[in-house]
Amino acid sequence: MNEYLPLLTLWRLLGVLALTMSPHLLRLPVWVSLLITALLSWRALSAYHQWPMPRMPLKVVLTLLAGGGIVAQYGSVSGQQAGTALLCLMAALKLLELKARRDVMVMVFLMYFLLLTHFLVSQEIWTVAFLLICAVAITAILIECQHRGALSPRLTLRKSGIMVAQALPLMIVMFVLFPRIPGPLWGLPADAGAARSGLSDTMSPGDISSLIESDEIAFRVRFDTAPPANSAMYWRGPVLDHFDGRTWENAFPITAAGYEPEIERLGQRVVYEITLEPHRMRWLFGLDLPRRDHLPGDAIMSREAQLMATKSVIERRRYSLVSDTDYRLQPTATERMVRRNLALPAKFNPQTLELGRRWRQSLGNDARIVDAALRMFREQPFVYTLRPPPLGRNSADEFLFTTRRGFCEHYASAFTLLMRAADVPARVVTGYQGGQLNEIGGYYVVRQSDAHAWSEVWLSGRGWVRVDPTAAVAPERIERGIEGSISAGEGLPGYLSNRTRLRFYFEARWDWINARWNAMVLAYGPELQQQFLSRFGLDDLRSMILALTVIVTLAMAAVGLVLLRQSLPAPIRDPALREWRRFTRKLGKLGLVQRTDEGPRDFINRVNELHPDLSERANRILMLYLNNRYLDNRDATVADLRQAVSALRL
């Protein structure tokens, strides 16, 4: 194992290592990716030019600098991102002492472990396909390292592919039977707060418009009843009731949970199932407004009718809900609720506050004030745009009276401030609006680009009423989504601008495949495993472990039998050769063994020299064997040879 490493083997190893780490190199910090690339390049050039390997002091210094850099970058060497970066760096630094086949074995096991780290980031279909290709390539390096003679790359890859294919059935059995643990298998707590695109628990000008560039999926929805119209698809998320002059947030995001709001159901119920992508926050999304008595077991409804999970959503989860699109939410007001939703920051947006006060004095009625604000947005030259100009300290004043260009968060924020200034309780609700029907799968896809903000006002006798000021400016946004609401001169985001009908079809087909993959593989947790295995009578953990043990034992026994059969000598089909082997076994009792480089005549000559008493019988057996095997002499039958060998008594 310590013999010299061939140059071609080294280059193939470097290529496979680069392939294995390539997805990580696109995600790691730039300095880490550059250092790994430099180490790979140096090792390839040093092997070609036969440069001397670096001495131990230099390797120690580089290792310490790399570890220190990881600590400086991440603040620790533990956790998903820091651990992956450190592992990639250590694998690259190992190249500095890669000289013998023994070192290749270490690199092979490192690369196998690196494959697993890709699942920390993605578990999509393309990731699995890529990792299978990498597994075949790594196994080919392992085969080449173990083989002593010349072996063509094509034959090596063929053997490697066969080995990986043979392992797939056992992998599937282990996946199905191995006891599942609650929570994400590939998540690490240290990175639970890692950034992800999506809604935040606060809202400032520009927050939601920045999401319009993202085509990431927020969740998928499958309706069990008739789906509502696109204009009624408001997916309720965080409710924000506190404003500091620029940013909206929830004044009591945690303590609000546990208080059940008063809700009167008026409309027909809608039954549906949501598959929510992980967003590392506690909130869940539901069609406005979900029923409390049909919530998931670990979900609660806050006093603002916001759905929240008991823990952060750090893995994809699926849950069913029942909603009513027509309802009365908290028709009876409390003094505390009214006071909280009328609060305004001092010395901010004086023009907006003055306009609201004038409306209160001139109109008096809350519903008329709401209509006046919506009429202002419809009749005056307000523009719905993805690229609003930046706003200063008095953002609402600048938007309403100067720029008049904004996205949904600008309209929702300004409208809510106007209502509060006019003494109408109001708050901001963020979430998503609309969705795109996947006709192949029969479900709706809601993306981050569908993020939306609207307002709720409290009206006497009606409770909290949803008011969407964006619909007054750009009704096509609510009816047809973001694609139908942007002016031709402004242009759509990149992922939408190039979407043709054919491309849309393939995207829908691919998303359906991903949805099935998510439902059948990635969502295969404790509950689904129990449901699946209960069909076969495996209802508890003990039964699963027993079945797993039996299957693994049978699989190992089958592999052992195959290996045993391969280790046994092949059966001799030539009857003459079979009798000759029987003859040599008899002579073996006398210590006479035919050498591998010794032909039949030479062997019998040696027998005659050592045991002259056997020469006559040995020569007769030799002649019968040669005549039958090589001369095709019909006079010397196999029966004669068999009789002569049987007559030999030692």
Tell me what the mean pLDDT of segment 120-149 comes to: 87
pLDDT at residue 256 in the model: 45
310: Cβ contacts below 8 Å, ≥ 6 apart:
282, 298, 299, 300
Q: What is the DSSP string of 63-94?
A: HHHHHHHHHHHHSSS-SHHHHHHHHHHHHHHH
pLDDT at residue 488 in the model: 44
pLDDT at residue 480 in the model: 62
Cis peptide before 289 (omega within 30 of 0): yes
SS3 assignment, position 466: strand
SS3 assignment, position 446: strand
Question: Which residue of the set 24, 118, 279, 452 is catalytic?
Answer: 452
The tokens describing 300, both together, are 């609660």
Write the pLDDT tens digit of every residue in 169-202.
888 877 877 776 665 554 444 454 444 557 888 9
Asked whether residue 617 carries a pLDDT value surpassing 80, the answer given is yes
Active site residue 408: yes
Q: Which residue's entry shows tokens 């290792």? A: 63
Q: What is the DSSP string of 232-253?
A: G-EEEEEEE-EE-SS-EE-SST
Active site residue 452: yes
Question: Which residue of the set 408, 410, 450, 511 is catalytic?
Answer: 408
Torsion of CA 588, 593, 599, 604, to 10 degrees: -60
Q: Calculate the alpha carbon distances from 44 to 16, 32, 50, 151, 526 in Å.
A: 13, 19, 10, 22, 47
Long-range CB pairs of 401-407, under 8 A, 24+ apart, other chains included? 401/351, 404/380, 406/205, 406/382, 407/206, 407/208, 407/209, 407/212
Q: Burial, 208: exposed, middle or buried (Cβ in 10 Å; 0-12, 13-18, 19+)? A: buried
CA pair distance 466, 267, nearest whole angstrom: 15
The tokens describing 271, both together, are 């039954």
Write the pLDDT tens digit of every residue in 66-93.
889 999 998 888 778 888 899 999 999 9
**Mean pLDDT, rounded, of the chain:** 84
Higher pLDDT, 210 or 376: 376
Question: Which residue of the set 103, 366, 468, 511 is catalytic?
Answer: 468
